[in-house]
A and B are shown apart, each in its own frame.
Chain A
Amino acid sequence: MTTQDSKAAVQKPQKPFWELVKVQGKLALREPTSLVFGVALPVFLLVIFGLIPAFNKPLAGTNLTVFQIYIPILMVTALIMIGLIGLPIPIVRDREIGYLRRVSTTPVSPTKLLAAQVTINLILAVVAFVIVGAGSVLIFGVKVTLEIPGFVLSIALATTAMFSLGLLIAALAGTQGAANGMAMGLLYPLLFFAGVYVPMQILPGYLQTISYYTPVGAAVKALTSTIQGNFPSPIPLAVMAAYSAFFSYIAVRYFKWE
């Protein structure tokens, strides 16, 4: 063992968590579900919407242009994709193939692996927000008066709510197939209530009310206030906080390591 031991002494001790983040990050780039759906899709929509001249006209009944209305919607779209697909699917896969169990035989807790997965997706979400936000303003010349503290709070709560939903899927889905099924089942309703297909402002009142009490509708509502220079009303913030707490509770309660 002596040769091995002397070699071992040369190696620098590394921080397991950041090594996990590094590896999970590389894996996320090699299996680019998060990247494609979470970042590329909102950016693609941003470019399309920016090129449609009619989107620069105010939407009837509001003082915002269609394009302005879509900025928060695209940010929430990124969160929906990451929350439903990018975050939970690799976790479920890692559990299904016994990787979480494998990690739990080492001195490092598998919780760190989950934390690394969350970190990677958080980075991707922030990248999506920055591209959508900066792209709208710098490339497409959209004018916004941003209420910064309100925006930060709203986007943080929206992220927490959608990431908790992702962890909830990871907790409840036993297999990758089940996780995909749950994600697909939730994807279209959430995109609809976020207003991706049609902004809520032009839909009947009762649909607006329903949307208001979904995590995505509340997120869009809160974010929309902040780009008009207002601090969001407490209701959408409370709705997002409540969903976050509820999803997290279920996720923690039912999560299984194997």
Chain B
Amino acid sequence: MSNPENSSVKTTNPSTANMPMSRKNIVNVNHLRKVYGSTVAVDDVSFSIAEGEVFGIIGPNGAGKTTTVECISGLRVPDSGSATIYGLSPKNDREEVRKCVGVQLQESALPPRIKVWEALDLFASFYSNPLDSRELLETLGIANKRNSTFKKLSGGQKQRLSIALALIGNPKIAILDELTTGLDPEARRETWGLIERIRDRGVTVILVTHYMDEAERLCDRVALINRGRLIALDTPAAMAAREGGEVHMQFVPSGTVDDKVLSALPGVTSVEHRGSRVVVAGSGDLTTIVLYALLNMGVQASDVQVKSGNLEDAFVRLTKTDDSPKKSEVSKQ
């Protein structure tokens, strides 16, 4: 991983978009644009994905995440710009691209009465060098469902089968779109473990999600797409640190606290009282500074909670600031 401090890639400039790994780029998206009727779904999006990376694409609903990966997998043809995989175009080299890309689609089902093993063997027959379907089912923890029909599977089992079908062709790249949507928390966590195992096998993963905890936990880098445009590209940690906003510290003081003293502390931007609690917002090493000041006042702090900006905060802030100037632009027209 390179130093997150160097990554001033809030906006879309592919040349400055830093690669956290010094491996070669295998997916290149260049000035991608896709229009549906009068709606611009994807607008001038560019990024590269390195081999072995787990690359997250995050953004609000309808931001163009799915359209972007559909252009990469070849399900849609871009109106302008390009998406290439190992330098191949999904449109012109249809078969070659599909051989090395496994896709898990959002909201795609199988015929209700197909059995798990039949679906896997069928999809295995589509590839020249497929994985062993039994072993794959073992890995995915649904080996005991081999003989079940698709309609009898639970939501989580269907997702696992869907992932299995994306991996059966032994792909170099797996595109997983909203794969934990609709899963219960336990199944989500299991699925995360699974993606980590896929990555450990050397598969490059493109993960579309609107769960920030998922992106934070799994992704080496995330691209934030809002209203069709790429507005930030970084490691989740760097994005959270830079755009996540202030640190919030709260505590219950044992006696009276002089707000003025706290406000004057370096880095502190606001001091608020909420019932018996004091909430201090600011940046830097807030906790240490505040606790030291309290100690000097002779006040003890109990039930101390510290919340620093996370990817979700960064997401909210970035999409909000991206949305507001655009709205005024629209109203001017």
A contact residues vs B (CB 8 Å cutoff):
1, 3-5, 7-11, 13-16, 19-20, 23, 26-27, 30-31, 90, 93-94, 97-99, 101-102, 104-108
Chain B residue at minimum C-beta to C-beta distance from A105? B103
Compute how far the CA of A105 lies from the CA of B85 in the bound complex, rounded to whole angstroms: 14
A105 in contact with B118 (CB, 8 Å): no
A1 touches which of B101, B110, B201 (Cβ 8 Å): B201
CB nearest to B96 among chain A residues: A107
Asked if B73 is at the interface of the complex by the 8 Å CB criterion, the answer is yes
Once A1-B201, A107-B95 are accepted as A-B contacts, the answer to whether A102 and B125 lie under 8 Å apart by CB is no
Please tell me if the beta carbons of A23 and B107 are within 8 angstroms of each other in the complex. Answer: no
- Residue in B99, B108, B128 whose CB lies within 8 Å of A101: B108
Determine which of B127, B129, B132, B202 lies in contact with A106 in the assembled complex, contact meaning CB atoms within 8 Å.
B127
Specify which chain A residues have a CB less than 8 angstroms from the CB of B103 in the assembled complex: 102, 105
In the assembled complex, B211 has its CB within 8 A of some CB on chain A: no
Query: In the complex the two chains form, is A102's CB within 8 Å of B110's CB?
Result: yes
Q: Which residues of chain B (113-157) have a CB below 8 Å from chain A?
A: 113-114, 118-119, 121-132, 135
- A/B pair count, beta carbons within 8 Å: 89
Q: How far is the CB of B140 from chain A (nearest CB, A)?
A: 13
User: Which partner residue on chain B sits nearest A8 by CB separation?
Assistant: B129
Complex contact A5–B121 (CB within 8 A): no
In the bound complex, what is the Cα–Cα distance between A98 and B124 (angstroms)?
19
A105-B98, A107-B98 as given contacts; A99 in contact with B121, CB under 8 Å: no
Nearest Cβ on chain A to B90's Cβ, whole angstroms = 10
Query: Which residue of the partner chain B has the closest CB to A19?
Result: B125
Q: Which of A7, A16, A97 contacts B125 (CB 8 A)?
A: A16
In the assembled complex, the Cα of A158 lies from the Cα of B168 at a distance in Å of: 41
Complex CA gap A147/B121 in Å reads 45
Contact B131 A8 (CB under 8 A): yes
Instruction: Please determine whether A20 and B122 come into contact, CB atoms closer than 8 angstroms.
Output: yes
- A6 smallest CB distance to B (angstroms): 9
* Interface: B165 (CB within 8 A): yes
Query: Taking A4-B135, A16-B125, A20-B122 as contacts, is the C-beta distance between A90 and B75 under 8 angstroms?
Result: no
Q: Which of A14, A93, A106 contacts B111 (CB 8 A)?
A: A93
Give the interface centre of B105, B111, B123, B169 by most chain A CB atoms within 10 Å.
Answer: B111
Residues of B within 8 A of A16 (CB): 125-126
Contacts of B121 in A (CB 8 A): 19
Q: Once the chains bind, are B113 and A27 in contact (CB under 8 Å)?
A: yes
Nearest-CB distance from A20 to chain B (Å)?
Answer: 7
A130 and B196 CA atoms in complex are apart in Å by: 56
**Closest chain A residue to B165 by CB distance?**
A102
**Are B165 and A15 in contact, with the CB atoms below 8 A?**
no
Beta-carbon nearest neighbor of A257 in chain B: B75
Judge if B46 is at the interface, Cβ distance under 8 Å: no
- Asked if B170 is at the interface of the complex by the 8 Å CB criterion, the answer is yes
Q: Is the CB of A101 within 8 A of B105?
A: yes
Q: What chain A residues lie within 8 Å of B110 (beta carbons)?
A: 97, 99, 102
Contacting B108 at CB < 8 Å: which of A7, A93, A99? Answer: A99
A104 touches B122 (CB 8 A): no
Which chain A residue lies CB-closest to B103? A105
A-B pairs, top 8 by smallest CB distance, nearest first, are: A98-B108, A7-B132, A14-B125, A105-B103, A97-B109, A19-B125, A30-B113, A108-B126
Interface centre among B74, B114, B128 (most CB of A within 10 A): B114
Cβ-neighbour of A4 out of B101, B109, B111, B201 (below 8 A): B201
Question: Does B99 lie within 8 Å of A11, measured CB to CB?
Answer: no
CA gap between A8 and B177 in the complex, in Å: 26
A56 vs chain B, min Cβ distance (A): 42
Name the one of B75, B99, B123, B130 contacting A8, with C-beta atoms under 8 angstroms.
B130
Task: State in angstroms the CA–CA spacing of A9 and B107 once bound together.
Answer: 32
Residues in B neighbouring A7, C-beta threshold 8 A: 131-132, 135
* Chain A contacts for B123, CB-based, 8 A: 106
Q: Tell me how far the C-beta of B150 lies from the nearest C-beta in chain A, rounded to whole angstroms.
A: 10
- Write the nearest CB–CB distance from B276 to chain A, whole angstroms: 54
Which chain B residues border A13 with CB–CB below 8 Å?
Answer: 125, 128
A14 to B123 Cα, complex, angstroms: 10
Instruction: Contacts A13-B128, A105-B98 given; indicate if A94 touches B75 (C-beta within 8 A).
Output: no
Set of chain B residues within 8 Å of A30, measured between Cβ atoms: 113
Judge whether B98 and A106 touch: CB under 8 Å.
yes
- How far apart are the CA atoms of A143 and B321 in the complex, in Å? 85
